[in-house]
Homo-oligomer: A and B are copies of this chain.
Amino acid sequence: MSVHGDSEVLLTPAEVASMFRVDPKTVTRWAKAGKLSSIRTLGGHRRYKESEVQALLGAASDDADHADS
């Protein structure tokens, strides 16, 4: 393993926004709302875990009605 410790890949707000096709400001709102965990740089900028973002993105569904058989 490297000196960076584990494979903790951090993403910038622009990266996350691009992946969700939303505005970077929206990602900031998600972080403020506690919907997405964020790590702060010493200057106050936010960074997001790629693993968490990927997990949320994987929530793609067809949203079809699968009530009956």
Which of chain B's residues have a CB closer than 8 A to the CB of A56?
Answer: 42
Count how many chain A residues have C-beta atoms less than 8 Å from C-beta atoms of the other chain.
38
| 8 Å CB contact of A61 from B6, B12, B37 | B37
Q: How many copies does the complex hold?
A: 2
State which of B20, B32, B41, B65 has its C-beta within 8 Å of the C-beta of A34: B65
A15 to B2, CA, bound (A): 9
- Which A residues are within 8 Å of any B CB, using their own CB? 2, 4, 6, 9-12, 15, 18-22, 26, 30-43, 47, 56-57, 59-65
Other contacts beyond A20-B42, A32-B63: 13, CB < 8 A: A2-B12, A4-B15, A10-B20, A26-B41, A26-B43, A30-B43, A32-B65, A33-B64, A33-B65, A34-B62, A34-B63, A37-B61, A38-B62
